[in-house]
Structure 1
């Protein structure tokens, strides 16, 4: 069917011109792609969950814009707190996050420092927390839904150069377009900096802390017909980190007659890589929408010690490599029975192979722990495990009246790995619009959280008996799946157009509560279980968005505690283990009070100004994590300007300042359950960049 446009002609007359066939097809492809996007999003209801959305405008206007790390963006959401090495914790959980690209779950990789994803390729980012519906399993502290850019909607590209303090330089580029029924989007970046990890010292410059990081992303889509689309998504990241040093440490172990070594000259390093790929087939009919997506992911972390210095300072030098390969398939479907009922269901299955290899140099010791000689020997330790996950869910979204939505579902998961476990998980949530401006929600979810296979070390502790790597505690019970009851209730209200306020409260009661810690020399985390755990929290948020103004503030109160460690006990000191057996202790990521705030203003001249701030009362420290570090407040500023240069539009420049007040603040002090060395936040830093869009 031809399409027509009006052409400018004399008053009182009009003319019609038929669009070229190619233009008609291109327009139809865009319309179809957007409709399929909406139907794909409809496969995953948010009823009962707390939802925080970052759209493209919010991403671009924040300090550092799209060059900001993924986790730093999420710190602007309620319930999200900062941890060391760029990590985040959500609602009192350590990790336990799942990332989804266009509705497809990406299996988590071996835990490291580098971000796998970038905000640059995201069209929209949603953070879902609370009593999640039945389609969300396994990792339940937060669901990070990333709607990627695509060439049908996001045509054109850009090149950018960004850098500044700490020897930072970051070139990047992206491009999107379409041809016929095909559309694509690609992006890539490279980062080099002298501040890769949090420094263990409070000074402005860190010792031995350089990093190089590269990331790439590809999206390719073909609209097969008006109801069907196939998409390919692939991405990869590779990172290299130097482990920062603390000068002035004393040598504890002579080595081959050598008794002196400057700790500032240590040369520990870590390399990481993550790759993933998805093929998604999506189709929609009048009543039934579905998507099926096979996927795969490969992840690897390699820690390389200083073979001399590590032995002389700690008595152990471990070369550790962990890798994981996962593949599986996900199916989601939605059937609209009538105007009141929509039935949704799906399945998920995954096979994963995890491999851990270590070559650890140690000293032999006597019964009193004193080395028998100054000569070391190496012990090889290797383990491998294949694990399987199976999940299925069914839920009904019921709208008995216009203002009320009830979502009731049931999920069943089975894990076959180091332990074989399964669970049936009921989910129920209710959302009710009291008025056109006020909505209340409440929900209950039963969660089943298997331990990450790639993080479960299976080293034989007996190999290290009589050496400097022998733990004081030899018990090493297997890590089990966490089982939790989660309750959430909240209310949101629009005071005036653009001004939204909300309050949300939650309670989580767990058996086999999971936590993670650094137990050993390598900067790789190991999961543990507390026999029982409690998390309580209240979040308040205020946001305003009207015209050129965007403002927000969030305040969170949280209490996260556990009692009695029942797995991976070897990583905890005997006196702490005994204390925790009979006492409730704060989890190492407990942050009693936290707040975030920010805003931006866009002028008609193409200038935008943004500022954000973060306040935290401090993470746990001390014996059995019974204390906390000093509270701190930091703020960041960003200014961007659009301009024309060399007769071409599409240019923009930006200037950013991080830690405006140059506050010296400590994120970790090196003590607490499963905590490694001290970590200080970055000092005041200046960055600038220029971007050309085409």
Structure 2
């Protein structure tokens, strides 16, 4: 195929993306299209070809530049056209232009040598279109870039939950849990704008920080396209390969027999770009220690993560993307020495709690295929299909668990989710931008619990030292449907309004639906000042994969019988959410922000660990109220950066309305008549950090501070104040034969403050956990 024919074939694909059928006809008084073609240095390019195509992909005009690089195309009707410019030894360039009657169009076009620029320009155009699906009007947005993660003490080996902990209003918890603005978890993860169905809640990290190109945490009164999980939207834009070839290999290890190997690679080949990442690690501190010991017995962990992203530019206005990920985690549950035996087991005279062998394994796989397009002007769209499989297996130490707890349960949960997500943006005019979309999700969950128990008498005392088994198995399918429509209205150059409506329908253990209005306002009186305010009505379904419909009566007369028999179904949470905030640039380098929020909830959702397995169980409070305020500051100038976030929060609930059998009768009665703090409530939360670079050396620090989570009967007590400071040093090298590489030294909990996150008491709290003690790690990273 000749070069000219290839060019025409490529241009012919454009008719799929142009939304309005236009037929260009030669007429005497048509407006002219003029321009100049140069190289990137501004030098005129002679004999460059300029093809003009209509919406059907038909070439309706052709011109060639003269010695001054100028061209002119006359006799075109008003409409939208594709211009394809090509010159020998230069990459092609494609422009979408709209011609208006009586207004000659002047165009300056610069061509680059090579073939990568076309793909890069097309990818940037489509990235801008994808970003348009997710406005942040009325919400609070906090951003972390790849370079921000690189200078953290642990760099890209920082677990993603610890990256998020450096953002405002996020309380730390055991098992890697995060609580945003007083909510239990309720985080939604999106990768490149596509919702990733949540896995079964355990304690493994499903995503690796090294895949992050930019991470946004969106909280507050969210626009209408955000539903399902609404405490916070963790929106990850992954690394990509459009800008060239490269990658890295990383080895990281140190205290607690930690060793982790990681690698990633990125690049492009014509219209195909790719990014792949993988890591594998082991350590002896996978789960927080249940005692003040820095090295708990039986706490070995293995973790592996993999991620892949590929995109193919079908034509300058259309892209197909595929991404997939996997995480496998295997944990030993750490032991507490010296526990007294509570139950008699035939043939067993003694059991040392130091030597128990409980383990838990987790697997999470997901895959997404997406079609994204734009017509270069008014319409952008994205259609995505997703699937996710998640499973968790808890393996008991049968002899030990029977001796200490009277129950030994092998628990298996699995969940398969398939989803469809569509989003559209239509720019009606300069004042109005419409956004709309639908989402459908189908889940199927399987539960299998093999439980060994002892019989008990009428008073609940052990009646025999011979255990017997009970199998409690079930399965369930559920469905979730959503649709939204909203308008971004530019009232003035400084004032924008985003208003819309969202509809959610739930068909799982309960049938429920809600029509939810959303409204957000953003005002920028100056370039240095931004104010926002918003209101959102929320509808939050419980985590389907955690609502195991156990038959309570199966365990009557055993050591696993419940304190009560009431087990009302878990319902979706319905809430009114208000948010107002201010961001002010005090100087060119210093920015401060202040944000306040208030949530009034009905059937407030919470989760607790009510058994030995590290699997959480949802339940509802009839009434809930959550409110708080956040202060953020950031400073960046040349080689110095720093930030400080301080948050105040209160989260309370009243009257448990579902899964009541998990509670003792006296606690249930107290909560029915009193407002109680949620177990994850923390009055004060702070995070801080900074980095200083001189020459090839970077010194960095980050830390967290908390006033303590709740504990005691009905959460009436709290844990002590705690703080942790991590330090890091990075040295960069560029040596002959070796090339570029860096060395890193990390000191975790530099002041070795021993602090307790959980005491083992409180609503839905099963065991105590302590924060990490001082540890030293080192790493080497080779880039290529």
TM-score under structure 1 normalisation?
Answer: 0.97
Task: Work out the CA distance in 1 between the residues paired with 2:480 and 2:176.
Answer: 29
CA drift at 1:434: 2.0
Helix, strand or coil at the partner of 2:382:
strand
**1:120 is aligned to 2:210:** yes
CA drift at 1:63: 1.1
Task: Work out the CA distance in 2 between the residues paired with 1:485 and 1:397.
Answer: 21
Counterpart residue number, 1:309: 400
Counterpart residue number, 2:726: 636
Counterpart residue number, 1:179: 269
Aligned 8 A contact 2:267 2:273 in 1: yes
Aligned mate of 1:74, from 164, 180, 200 = 164
**1:375 is aligned to 2:466:** yes
**1:264 is aligned to 2:354:** yes
Task: Work out the CA distance in 2 between the residues paired with 1:588 and 1:484.
Answer: 19
Counterpart residue number, 2:650: 559
**Compared CA separation, residues 400 and 6, structure 1 to 2 (3 A):** closer
Aligned mate of 1:225, from 295, 315, 319 = 315
**What is the 5 A alignment of 1:252-291?**
252-285=342-375, 286-291=377-382
Task: Work out the CA distance in 1 between the residues paired with 2:450 and 2:645.
Answer: 47
Task: Work out the CA distance in 2 between the residues paired with 1:181 and 1:128.
Answer: 32
Helix, strand or coil at the partner of 1:77:
coil
**What is the 5 A alignment of 1:204-603?**
204-285=294-375, 286-603=377-694
Task: Work out the CA distance in 1 between the residues paired with 2:333 and 2:185.
Answer: 22
CA drift at 1:6: 5.4
CA drift at 1:25: 2.9
Aligned 8 A contact 1:558 1:591 in 2: yes
**1:135 is aligned to 2:135:** no
Aligned 8 A contact 1:391 1:413 in 2: yes
Task: Work out the CA distance in 1 between the residues paired with 2:178 and 2:542.
Answer: 18
Counterpart residue number, 1:153: 243
Aligned 8 A contact 1:251 1:259 in 2: no
Task: Work out the CA distance in 2 between the residues paired with 1:673 and 1:261.
Answer: 29
Counterpart residue number, 2:147: 57
Task: Work out the CA distance in 1 between the residues paired with 2:586 and 2:650.
Answer: 30
Task: Work out the CA distance in 1 between the residues paired with 2:117 and 2:434.
Answer: 32
Aligned 8 A contact 1:3 1:24 in 2: no
CA drift at 1:644: 2.3
Helix, strand or coil at the partner of 1:462:
helix
Answer with 241-250 or 639-648: which moved more: 639-648
Query: Is there any run of 5+ residues in structure 2 with no aligned partner, and where?
Result: 1-6, 8-36, 44-67, 70-86, 93-112
CA drift at 1:521: 2.0
Task: Work out the CA distance in 2 between the residues paired with 1:125 and 1:154.
Answer: 21
**Compared CA separation, residues 66 and 267, structure 1 to 2 (3 A):** same
Aligned 8 A contact 2:183 2:231 in 1: yes
**Compared CA separation, residues 3 and 376, structure 1 to 2 (3 A):** farther
Aligned 8 A contact 1:367 1:466 in 2: yes
Counterpart residue number, 2:708: 618
Helix, strand or coil at the partner of 1:279:
strand
Task: Work out the CA distance in 2 between the residues paired with 1:238 and 1:28.
Answer: 38
Structure 1, residues 265-304: CA drift from partner, whole Å, max 9, x if none? 0000000010000001000012000000000000000000
Counterpart residue number, 1:657: 747
Task: Work out the CA distance in 1 between the residues paired with 2:641 and 2:469.
Answer: 58
Task: Work out the CA distance in 2 between the residues paired with 1:518 and 1:112.
Answer: 10
Counterpart residue number, 1:680: 770
Task: Work out the CA distance in 2 between the residues paired with 1:94 and 1:435.
Answer: 37
Helix, strand or coil at the partner of 1:474:
coil
Task: Work out the CA distance in 1 between the residues paired with 2:681 and 2:243.
Answer: 42
Counterpart residue number, 1:12: none
**What is the 5 A alignment of 1:20-99?**
21=91, 24-99=114-189
Task: Work out the CA distance in 1 between the residues paired with 2:243 and 2:620.
Answer: 46
CA drift at 1:256: 1.3
Structure 1, residues 228-285: CA drift from partner, whole Å, max 9, x if none? 0000000000000000100000111111131310000000000001000000100001
Task: Work out the CA distance in 1 between the residues paired with 2:116 and 2:243.
Answer: 11
Counterpart residue number, 1:201: 291
CA drift at 1:7: 12
Aligned 8 A contact 2:332 2:359 in 1: yes
Task: Work out the CA distance in 2 between the residues paired with 1:155 and 1:70.
Answer: 25
CA RMSD of aligned residues (A): 1.5
CA drift at 1:3: 6.7
Task: Work out the CA distance in 2 between the residues paired with 1:478 and 1:685.
Answer: 45
Larger Rg: 2
Query: Is there any run of 5+ residues in structure 1 with no aligned partner, and where?
Result: 9-14
Task: Work out the CA distance in 2 between the residues paired with 1:521 and 1:179.
Answer: 51
Helix, strand or coil at the partner of 1:581:
helix
Structure 1, residues 470-521: CA drift from partner, whole Å, max 9, x if none? 0111111100000000000011100000210010000000000000001122
Task: Work out the CA distance in 2 between the residues paired with 1:669 and 1:18.
Answer: 72
Helix, strand or coil at the partner of 2:175:
helix
Task: Work out the CA distance in 1 between the residues paired with 2:479 and 2:507.
Answer: 5
Helix, strand or coil at the partner of 1:308:
helix
CA drift at 1:683: 0.3
Structure 1, residues 445-494: CA drift from partner, whole Å, max 9, x if none? 00000011101011100000000000111111100000000000011100
Aligned 8 A contact 1:4 1:19 in 2: no
CA drift at 1:612: 1.0
Helix, strand or coil at the partner of 2:586:
strand
Task: Work out the CA distance in 2 between the residues paired with 1:7 and 1:440.
Answer: 42
